[in-house]
Chain A
Amino acid sequence: MNEQGNNNGDNEDTLVVESPVPDDQQVPATETVSTLRLVATLAIAGALAGLLIVLLNQHTKPIIDKYKAEQLKLAVYEVLPGSEHYNTYYLIEGKLSPSLPDGAKENDYKRVYVSHSKSGQVKGVAISRGESGFQDVVQIIFGFDPTTGKLLGMKVLDSKETPGLGDKIFKDRAFVDQFFAGPETPLTGVKAGMGKGLPTEIDTITGATISSKAVINIINHALEEWRPVLDQGIPPAPTSLPEGEVQQ
């Protein structure tokens, strides 16, 4: 432990240029460390750190992506109660299409998830959207019935809202259940107990007004964007399309 004491003393001395420190524990050659060396050390360490992260990322990314896809699937079924399967529709040049043009990347297009009944009727549409809440972007998915204009359900996919307050937007069952009770759109947020009993009203959470209003706004904005598209009609499910045909 005595060595440490010496080392520490020496270190202060190293700031003086002519410090004679033949300490074998220390860096050989010059004791006055050049700026280049400082930069090089950090650069090398940074490069190694980056390499390590990239290597592990390659290993964990498929697992994370798979999990996210599964979660999305579960979420779609949750917000479209009673559906057994769904099809992904992409927004291509202002119209919905169940398939992508050749060579197009899936992530380049906005999409909705449509559930059909056995007879081919549209039962519900699930739309995912993110907007800023109180702290960060709140990502939600909600189910919507385009024929009646009612909501079918809502689920928060991702949020960093304040634990204990803002996170009630997905932890408070009473709040979430309101979206499953079939409210009419566009929604209006009201203080709990202050509503007039209108079918568009959603009671906001006391202490988490901004977060709960964010959820309501996301749904309203998403519907403003998607209603015109959905009202044009949703093309039939891809199983009824001839193989390989691309709906324009």
Chain B
Amino acid sequence: MRKTTPSQDLIRGIWEENPVLIQMLGLCPALAVTNSVKNALAMSAATFFVICCSSVLVSSCKRFIPKEVRISAYILVIATFVTLADMLLQAYAPVQHKELGAFIALIVVNCMILGRQEAFSAKNNVYRSLLDAIGTGIGFTIALIMMGGFRELLGTGAFLEYSVFGPNFEPWVIMVLPAGGFLTLGFILLAMGYIEQRKKMKALMAAEKAS
């Protein structure tokens, strides 16, 4: 593992190692609940809460957790925070809770969260684990909002429920259906791959010119 500075811990998760778009983790919620920006935001907020709390707790308790049962212990920690998030959402944002339904409970099995515990929090101190969790959480949020925005815009002609295209717009219903999630993810990855390739080509051209 190469050495990183605290600011790199934070920034890394946002773009360079974006959990959804680069690492392809946590795709279940990214595909399932991004049919509107509001749902994407609620899911991101819940996941953000869970990953930050879990990272802090796991990194501060790591020396008490025997290696043999670490995965069970992480899952226990994550499941606890997910239950807390579930109850908080149900109490303070009941509409969103109803909308997200079973997917709140399924944050437990979001491999992005478990992945960060095993790969980072279990080996680093509390401060850096928190930074890493915040970065990953923001990266997850960005990915979900990108998908939610795209799908809501084309699927209902609105953004955050404000009509954008006017009443004459014929919504592409497929975009808010599950298939739309896969299509959207595919297009986003395509665009990212294209940008990445352009960047590489430019760097190559510049290097050739210099030599």
Interface of A with B (CB < 8 Å)? 1, 4-5, 7, 11, 14, 25-27, 33, 37-38, 41-42, 45-46, 49, 52-53, 56-57, 59-60, 63-64, 67, 71, 158, 160, 163-165
Contacts and interface: CB of A to CB of B under 8 A. Distances in A.
Given A49-B79, A52-B80, A38 B68 contact: yes
Contacts of B63: 25-27
B94 A67 contact: yes
B84 A56 contact: yes
B178 interface: yes
Given A53-B80, A163-B32, A11 B67 contact: yes
Contacts of A5: 1
Query: Is the contact region of chain A dominated by helix, strand, or loop, or is it mixed?
Result: helix
B91 A64 contact: yes
B84 A33 contact: no
Given A1-B1, A38-B68, A164 B35 contact: yes
Interface stretch (B40-48, B70-78, B197-205): B70-78
A191 B87 CA distance: 39
A64 B90 contact: yes
B85 to A, nearest CB: 10
Given A1-B3, A163-B32, A37 B88 contact: no
Contacts of A158: 98
A59 B94 CA distance: 15
Contacts of A56: 84, 87-88
Interface of B: 1-3, 32-33, 35, 63-69, 72-73, 76-77, 79-80, 83-84, 87-88, 90-92, 94, 98, 101-102, 123, 176-178
Contacts of A49: 76-77, 79-80
A165 B177 contact: yes
Contact of A41 (B2, B33, B65): B65
User: When A and B form their complex, which 5 residue pairs have the shortest distance between CB atoms, in order from nearest?
Assistant: A49-B80, A60-B91, A63-B91, A164-B177, A33-B66
Contact of A60 (B1, B2, B67, B90): B90
A203 to B, nearest CB: 18
Nearest to B39: A163
Contacts of B76: 42, 45-46, 49
Contact of B66 (A4, A27, A59, A163): A27
Contacts of A7: 123
Contacts of B178: 163-164
Contacts of B64: 27, 41
B76 to A, nearest CB: 5
Contacts of B80: 49, 52-53
Contact of A14 (B67, B84, B101): B67
A52 B102 contact: no
Contacts of B79: 49
A165 B67 CA distance: 44
A52 B84 contact: yes
B23 to A, nearest CB: 20
Contacts of A67: 91, 94
A54 to B, nearest CB: 10
Contact of B72 (A14, A42, A163): A42
Contacts of A46: 76
A59 B1 CA distance: 43
5 contacts: A4-B1, A41-B65, A60-B87, A67-B94, A164-B177
Contacts of A165: 177
Question: Which one of B77, B80, B94 has the highest number of Cβ atoms from chain A below 10 Å of its Cβ?
Answer: B80
Contacts of B88: 56, 60
Nearest to B85: A56
A26 B70 CA distance: 14
Contacts of A25: 63
Contact of A160 (B65, B91, B101, B176): B101
A23 to B, nearest CB: 10
A146 B47 CA distance: 48
Contacts of A41: 64-66, 69, 73
Nearest to A158: B98
A163 B35 contact: yes
Nearest to B65: A41
